[in-house]
Structure formats: C-alpha cells, structure tokens
Structure 1
C-alpha cells in the first residue's frame, strides 16, 4: 500500500546519518496486532517519495535486516512488503524469509503466463501473496485469485455500490480479506459487518517511522563474503551468507551488470554471476563495494573508491610485468592494493582489521610492513599516486624491472580502467 501521511519531525537529509523505516499495523477482528506493512521512508518526514518500486523495496529490506533488525521492526509478527514485477522475477526475492514476510503485489503489476508460472514457483517455496488495492470484481481478478492468499480491498476507492458484490464473490474463493484505508469508525463498522478478516488504515494507526543509525553490518557481511570468495567455498555457502544481506546482493548484482560488458542479457542471480564471470571478478567488485557502501556517492565520483580501484589495478598491471602469467600473484597484488586502505573505511586501526580479515600472509605482510615483493609493489603504487620523482626512482631501484616511464604508463592505464568500468555506474 502506498501512503502519504505526515508527521512534525523534520531532519536535514544532507547531514543526517540515520536510516528510516515506516511500518503500519494490520489488525484482526478483535483489534489485536496481526502484522505490519513495512514502508519505504527516506527521512523522518512520514511520507513516501518513491521513484522506483524495486529500489524502494530493496531499501525496506536492507533497513529491516541490517539497520533496524527484524526483531525491532516486526517483533513476532509477519511483515508485508511491496513487490513489483521486476522484483518477483529477480532472484533477490529468494533472500526474503518466506516464514516472516507476505509479498504484496502492487496494483500496477500485469499478470501473464510467465508471471503466473513465477508466482506458482515462489508459492511452492513457501511464499504467501497479498493482492494490493483491489476495488472491483473482474475476470482478471478472478484469474489471479488462485495465486494469492490475501486480498486487500481499498475502501477509499471502492465504490460503495460495488463493495458488497466484491466481498461476496471473494468469499466464495476462501481468501483472507483485508480492508485497507479504513479511515473512520463507519468504515470499520461496515468492513466488520461484511466479514473482513484483517484491517489497516488511519482509523487504527498512522504509519510509525523507526529511526536507526546507519549500520556497517553490510560492510562486515562483505568481509565475510570476501573471505569465502578467497577460499574454495561452494556456491551454496556464498548464497547462504548473502541471504543475511539482501541490500548487499542487490548492490553487487547491479554493479556486476553495470560493468559486465558484452553479456547477452543481465545477470539475475549471484549463482549465475559466479558461473558467468567467475569468483575472481565478483570478488573484485565486492572489494570495491566495501569502499562505496554507505558513503552516498556515485562510485565513479567517490574519491576513496577511486583511490582503492586505481591502486589495486596499478598493482595488478605491474604484477603482470613482473610475473607474467602468474594469476594467483596478480590476484594477490590487486587485493593488496584494495585492502591497503581498509582502515579508512572502518576508521579503525589497521592491526585490528588485519586480524579480522585473515588475508594470505604475503598480502598481510605487504600491508603491515611494506615488505616482500607485494610490499615493494605497494610502495611503487603509492609513489605513483604522489607523483614524487624521488619516491618513484627509489621504488624502481627496488624493482629493477620497472622504470619511471613504465610506472607513469601503468598509472594512466589504471586510471583509464577505473573510468571505463564505472562509466555506467549506478551506485548512489
């Protein structure tokens, strides 16, 4: 259900580091709390400003799972979340726990053979469906009913002459009937008399806005995922880990799609992304998301992402000259470049973070002590970033295969790589 309520609390979104989640109670015939509908909120003003339905639901899920928490948001009750056709067809929907959530199909969704098949598959997986904003009986509605468990009848826009006939026909199909937009006592009394099972609207309660500090849980989830990607983890292990962070999955998949040039069609699932691109590419973009997460900037214009990405690519290209064809060492060089800046992300001591990351010994030693081949390469990358001639010459003296000209050339190539890969960026 989309809504437009207001509240007196106002914040400055430009300086606000909090996150917001709206919820509105759904009650049963006795007036007892039955469930909550979770609503997208971008600030403390209790009003929805939705541009993209799929993006709004992704934010709701991320806020529920990561920032606010399922227990705080729902207690022991079910949660209703709006789902668009795109989300229903995306494997991201499989990250939603079917025992805790009802998928509320938006009124603008057009059902066809493909969507019928998709919803039937999701129902077999345990999902329950509610049909939103029903206002009159139709052949289309009748064809959809076998797929849904709950029908939400919009009392505000259902013409009074149609309501009795609509309810009578719906009851024949043995569906749970929910009266939404119950605004007055008269609305409530009539809905009770007609035999509605559940009720939602301003007569009971306006949506409440839950406020939480923006959590770094997605970054910690990224660290766990990167740990799995760096080992021999099974795809099922990766999927299980990612189920705890649906917002992260959506970020990762959309970023992969934005940078996976030449594919015949977009990648819709992590499993497919891993099979098509391999864990190596997935790992690299996950590493960059570690820097982009929560900074509220486009990835192409985030200075920290820019520095991490170009440094990592510089080290990979230089490693290719030093150790041609040695893919493991090239990967290690890339990771060294990325994680050499991780203390800036977490604002924590590097020693503490290295203890949690459990990086391979050559990478850890390179970052901590600037020793070993990777440590010398990291020094060269940092020298290239400063443009300091003396530092560049010292770095070349320790790595004779490199020259100041090569370092300059590699630096430009690394910057071009980052610019090309983020031309179609989307992260904001």
Structure 2
C-alpha cells in the first residue's frame, strides 16, 4: 500500500482493516447501468483513528485495486472522491485510467499546481467530475478540465437547476443528477436534459393497485411452486419447456461463470441434475428480475442490486453460521426477495401472501428482525452509506465481523453479481 503520510510526518499510516465501502449505481437516461460512485468510510475506533475520509478513500482504493478493480466496478465506470492532497499522491498508479472518474471534493481550491496536476492526469486518460455549485467563483478555472458536472437535485431548487443545466450543457459537460430519491425528481432531471442519474429512486416500490404479474413472471412463479413442492424432475422439465423464452433464459443463466459449473450445461435435464433444487430455485428468483422485455431498462439496476444483496447475505451467513448448511440459502432468498415489492409494484405483505416463506424470512422482509433481518439491514446501510454509515459499525459489532472481512465479502458479492447481470441481459 502507498504511504499517504509523506506530506505530514505526524500522520499515522493508514490500515486497510479500518475501512468499509459502499457502491452507489449511476444510471443513464434509459436507466441502464453506467457506473458506480465508490464511497469509503473509516471505522471510527482503534488506536489509528483517521479523521480525513478522503485519505481513508485513498488507502482503500489502493487495497481494492490490488484485489482487482474489476471486482468493484465490473465493466462500469468508477467515480471516486479525491481532495487536493490525494490528487498529488501516486495513488493513481493503482487505477485503470479509462475506467475511473475522479470526483473533485468541494473544498478543493483551483491553484495553478492543482490545475497542472489535473492536466497531467488527464493526459494519462483520467476524467474528472465537479459539483455544480462549486464550478463557479474561485473554482470556475477547473471547469474546462472536467467532463462531468454533478448536481444535487434533491436539495437544489428546481428553478436553480433550470438555470444552470443549460449553461453546463452549452459547455459540453455531461450532467449527473445525484441524490435522486423520487420518480418525480428523476423525471424533472430527465426533462432538463441530465445525462446520468444517481440515487435509489429505482429501488423504491411504486404501489400499483390491481397490478398483475407478466406472463413470464407467472411462468417463473409457477415453476418455483413446482420446485418447492418436490415435484419430480420430468414434471419440472416439462413445465420449463412449455415456455421457450424461459428455457433459453434459464440455460443462459446456469452457464454463467457465477454458477461455476465445470462443464457446459446444454440441456434442461442436465441443468436440473447438476444444479439441484435449491440452486434451481435461486436462478428462478433471479430470473424474475431478468425479463427479456425489460432488458436494458429499469430492471437492470434492480437486478444488479438484488443479486448483490442476495450474494452478500449468503456470504455473511456462510461465514457467521458455518454449521447451519441451509442458513446461506435462506439468506440469499431474503436478499433477493427484499426488492420484490419494487419489482412487482405490490406491498411486501401481499407478496408473502402469495409466496409461502418460513417465519424467519417473513420477519426479515417485513420487520428487518432476527438474524436475517440484521444481515439485510447491514446490506441496505452499505448501499446508502452516505446517509446510513452510522448504522454500519453497530451492525458489525452485533454480528461480530470486522470491517476488513466485510469489504472482502462485498467485493466477492460485487464480482458475482456483475457476472450474473452480464450474462442475464
């Protein structure tokens, strides 16, 4: 790891195990995944307390990059916050320049030395983002060097957005709407010509009375019922074959690297034999989010979020309850099902009325209680780490897991989810 204390002899060296990370999706105008903002937080305990979050960011970037940046962002762009001190370090030797956007911190001052450093990094292929309210005044000199301007659409008056958005577009800047929390905020930003959108508006359920499942979703649900009711393999295979798109999609999914099959699975019978019932149920749950008609649209981030949650909860349960073989399967189900209210546009209690689940799953999904509820709360806190980072450390203590272990499990979940979505869409 690089030593970021070179400019401050009194500063303690940073230790990776003091940090945990969050990953927030950035979507394009079609609501397909474009990138992620990577958010790093230092664990506020221990002898080497680090108060500078951006220095903490640099330390964890170095570690994450050594583990493989593709595990963190897959094929997407990574937006990383940096301040003036970090910009002057050699941290960027760890980063793939064509895949990373350096997001300039709000307190950075546009000194000649900083501008020169940004030009140097740009020559290596790095791009930059700047917040709109800091792209004026003394920092206006940085604007020609940046490609993206981010604007907080949740807290900025619509009249201000209407005034500034055309100005930045005139200067050929890509506009990123951040903190998009409602469908209305998304629509307003879309109408104003914003190019990218960051926030969890897409994961909030929009309840639609009388909404019915699509034919493909119904087919998957019926198949899940057969699997869980111990129907024999020939009956399940016949049910799959009745829906050609379902059969093709299932074969595509079970041949992803995420399955880890040692040989290619070419037939439904082979898939049923090699996967087993619990694994088949898992892929059916994923397929609910991967409808062919929704590809490239709003289901993409929802599929990514659901598979990441499911895998992270599975890995946590495996680590924390190694002697309970079914705990990992239950945890995966909780993670996947936790977004079905958004997927179906129905209240969770109505969904559970149609999909029988055990009491511990229902408690986790409805009340966030019990062991699986604690895991789900931790995953949701990591997703919204800017607002909920105060919940992460108590959750880690309650579960008796270190921040270092959590980061490793997160990276594994990110990598697995990216493989699933890449092949599912």
- TM-score by structure 1 length? 0.46
- TM-score by structure 2 length? 0.46
- Flag the structure with larger Rg: 1
